[in-house]
Amino acid sequence: MEEYPINNRRLRLNQHIRELSRQVRLHHEQFIQPLFVCEGISKPTPSPVLNGVSTHTKDSVLAQIERDLKVGVTKFLLFPIPATKSDLPSDFEFITSVIASIKQRFGNTIWLAMDVCLCAYTSHGHCGILTKEGTAINNSKSVQTLAHYALQLAQAGADCIAPSDMMDGRIGAIRTLLNANGLEHIAIMSYSAKFASVFYGPFRDVCGSSPDKTLQLKGRSSYQIDFTNTGDAIRSTIRDMEEGADIVMVKPALAYLDIIQSLKAQVNVPIAAYQVSGEYQMLELMVREGLMDRRSAHLEAWTSMVRSGTSIVISYASREAKQWLSS
Ligand code: PBG
C-alpha cells in the first residue's frame, strides 16, 4: 500500500492546535443589535417573518435594552416605524422622544446608532422625496430632509447617525449640519455599499416600507447599487469617506463578501457588514426545519464576514453572540 503521510492535517488534529492556528477570532464587542420601535402598537409584537425579532413600543424597547445589557449587548441600531406616512415627512417627534427616553435611562452604558432613511415615513415607501410628477426622486430635497432629520436624532441623543437612503451627497450634508450645530462628536456610519437586494424582504414586511409598485419609479434600483457593479460600490464608499463617513458598510453581507474584501484593501476606516433580514431568515428557516444548528450556522456566516475584512457585524442574532462565543 502506498504511504500518504499527514502534513497539513497536523494543525487540525486536536482542539488545542486548531485554537492556536486560528486566523480570525470573533468577539462579542464587535456586534450591533438592531431594534425596531413602532408608534402604532400598544404591546411588543413578534414578527412572523423575522425569527426572534419583535417590534417594540416606546416602553418595551427600554425593557428589551435592559435585557440585552444583561447578556452583554451594548451597541444598537434603532429603526423607527411611525404611525403616519406622508409625501413630505417632517414630524420626527415620536423617534426623538424614544431616543431621549433611552438615553435618559441608559446614558453612555449603551451606544445608539440611528438608521436615517425616509422609507418608513413616506406614503409611497421610497427612501427619498419624489418630484412633483412623482416619476423620480428629488435628490436635493431628499438630502435636505435627511440632514434635518439626522440633526434632530443627534440632538435627541443618538451617538451615531447611519444613513441608509443612498441619496448622493447626504453624508457631506449631514456632517456639515451636525458640525454647524456643535455635534462634531457624533459619528456617521454610512450604508455606503448598499445594493438593490431582494434580501431586504422580511425587513420591509416588519417596517411596512415596501416601495409602491404602482409608481412609475419601480423598486429602489434608481438609488441602491446594482449588484453586478463592484466599481460603483467602491466609488460610493470612497466618496462617502471623503464626505465624512467614519464607518462604512457593505449590505447585504453574505452574498457580497468579495465587495468586503476589495474594500478592505482600499479603505482604512472600520467596515461594517450587515447580515440583512433575508440572509438571516434563510439560516433561521433551515434551523427551524432541523437542517442545521443555529449557533454553528450564524458563527460560520459571521466568521466569513470578519475573515473578508469587517470589524463590525450587524445581526438580528447579536444578542446571542456573547453566549455563543464563550461556549
Ligand atoms: C431602509 C433600510 C432597509 C434596510 C435597512 N435600512 C431596507 C431597504 O433599503 O429597503 C434593510 C435591512 C434588512 O433587510 O435587514 N432603507
* pLDDT tens string 243-266: 999 999 999 999 999 999 999 999
Cell numbers at 324, concatenated: 455563543
Closest CA to 244 of 317, 171, 182, 316: 171
- How much is the pLDDT for 106? 98
Coil vs helix vs strand at 250? strand
Residue owning the nearest CA to atom 6 of ligand 1: 164
Burial class of residue 239 (count of CB atoms within 10 Å of its CB; 0-12, 13-18, 19+): middle
- How much is the pLDDT for 43? 98
Amino acid at 220: R
56 has which bridge partners? 37
Instruction: Give the E-state strand segments of the chain in sequence order.
Output: 31-38, 45-46, 54-56, 75-81, 111-116, 160-163, 187-194, 247-251, 271-274, 312-314
The H or E element that residue 149 is part of is: helix 139-156
How many Å apart are CA 277 and CA 10, to the nearest integer?
A: 39
Residue 18 pLDDT > 80: yes
Q: What is the CA radius of gyration of the chain?
A: 21
Q: Is 277 near ligand 1, meaning CB less than 6 Å away?
A: yes
Mutate to test the pocket of ligand 1, among 49, 116, 117 (most ligand atoms within 8 A of CB): 117
46 has which bridge partners? 54
Indicate the average pLDDT of the chain.
Answer: 96
Catalytic annotation, residues: 194, 251
Q: Is 117 near ligand 1, meaning CB less than 6 Å away?
A: yes
Cell numbers at 308, concatenated: 473578508
Sorting pLDDT into bands at 50, 70 and 90, what band is 214?
Answer: low
* pLDDT tens string 187-208: 999 999 999 999 999 999 999 8
Q: Is 114 near ligand 1, meaning CB less than 6 Å away?
A: no
Sorting pLDDT into bands at 50, 70 and 90, what band is 125?
Answer: very high
Q: Determine the distance separating the centroid of ligand 1 and the alpha carbon of 23, expressed in angstroms.
A: 31
Mutate to test the pocket of ligand 1, among 51, 78, 164, 205 (most ligand atoms within 8 A of CB): 164
- How much is the pLDDT for 209? 82
